[in-house]
Amino acid sequence: MGHIVGHESETTGAEMRFTTRQVLRLVLAAVLTTVTGLFALPTADACACGGMFVREGSSLTVPTEKALVVHSGGRTDVTMSLLVRSEVGDAGLVVPTPAPATVSLADNDTFLALDRATRPIRKDRWHLIGSDGDTGVSGAATRDGAPAGSGVQELSSIDLGPLRATTLKAGDPASLRQWLSTRGYTVRPAVQHILDQYVAKGWAFVAMQLTSAGRKLDGGIPPVTMSYADKQFVYPMLLSQAATIDPVVTTYVLSDRRVQRTDSSARSTSVETRFAADMRKRRGTVTAPIRDAVAKAPYLTVLEQGFDAPHKQIVSDFTFGRAATDAEHIPVAYNDKYVFTPAQFTFVVFALVAMMVGTVVLVDRRRRTRSAA
């Protein structure tokens, strides 16, 4: 989903680099995988979930994005992570959602738990020759709204400690631009064009800004979860069209069945299914940070897609539908074992050759002896 704090990452998620002095580090973690600074200056990147902004003279990038997308009962919960290192203490993020979202902090180990749950199965694989150095396979206070005439309605606001999240709707693109501008959001034209499309479709937005506590951060904060009504099963991704780097997006999708991508962007480059399994059959791999999510939607599908030309290849949000099969796809990591090391095999070959030569010579001598008699 083009989400707010995007795809990694684990960091869990995504990594971002800033030019010059690095005084403040903002790490927004939430499933989705990793976001690029959308509302940054011309030097900042766009991200899947939303827009990141910093002041002029700064830049940021997010090369990878990881997100957990849980769909159940007509709602979608998106948890993602974002790593931001900034020179300024008033960085912010804006994320579009198809319906107004509630925002909360998620477990800090969400993506670590997902990685553990999707570890490859380890198997022994025997070879005739080789050595151990060889590689193997494979709640919120509601407000009445914005000032009259602004065209922006602030639906709710919640203090999450290091950042404050505001859910809002805009009646027209100009009002959203004004709302963002008065709060210090510097939006590139390419990003603003996409935001205008979301406004036209009647989408809502989540705007996040660092609080005084967040400005003192020098490390990570828990992932952020956004929950919204969603019959279509959509992950906002279109904002990544404005990215200036080549994003790699990993989505951990929990649903009642195995899923596949059904959007137009899925056809631009190959989408790899890295993992697919009913987690009710793998309870031993499900740990506390993801247990509640698995209880709501037990089938986990992990999809990954990279874009080397996002402005051409990302033409839609991500949408998901039932896959043609519920067959499991669990990666295997092989422990390669060898009958002989190269040195041992060479010795055995020479020994066999010597034995064969010796046998031939002995037979020939006996034949000659008999002939002479």
200-219 confidence digits (pLDDT tens)? 999 999 988 766 655 544 44
Structure tokens at 323: 């896959």
Q: Which residue has the higher pLDDT, 15 or 324?
A: 324
pLDDT in tens, 175-196: 998 998 888 777 778 888 999 9
Query: Looking at residues 130-149, what average pLDDT do you find?
Result: 45
Confidence band, pLDDT 50/70/90 cuts, at residue 43: very low
The answer to which of 43-57, 99-113, 171-185 has the lowest mean pLDDT is: 43-57
b or e along 111-136 (b: 16 or more beta carbons within 10 Å of the residue's beta carbon)? bebbeebbeeeeeeeeeeebeeeeee
pLDDT at 36 over 50: no
Pull the structure tokens for residue 129: 């020759």
Chain segment 330-373, per-residue pLDDT in tens: 998 888 778 778 888 788 888 888 888 889 888 888 888 877 76
Q: Identify the residue with better confidence: 67 or 2.
A: 67
pLDDT digits (tens, 9 = 90+) for 247-290: 888 999 999 999 999 999 999 999 999 999 999 999 899 999 99
- pLDDT band at residue 315, thresholds of 50, 70 and 90? very high
Residue 233 pLDDT more than 90? yes
* Mode of pairing for the β-strands spanning 299-306 and 224-229: unpaired
Q: What is the pLDDT of residue 132?
A: 60
Asked if the model's pLDDT at residue 300 lies above 50, the reply is yes
Mean pLDDT on 293-318:
94
Q: Above 80 in pLDDT, residue 324?
A: yes
Instruction: Yes or no: say if 337 and 124 are a contact pair by the CB < 8 Å rule.
Output: yes
Does residue 234 register a pLDDT over 90? yes
Amino acid 25: pLDDT = 39
Domain extents for the chain? 24-335, 344-372
Looking at residue 366, what is its pLDDT? 81
Compute the average pLDDT of residues 162-167. Answer: 86
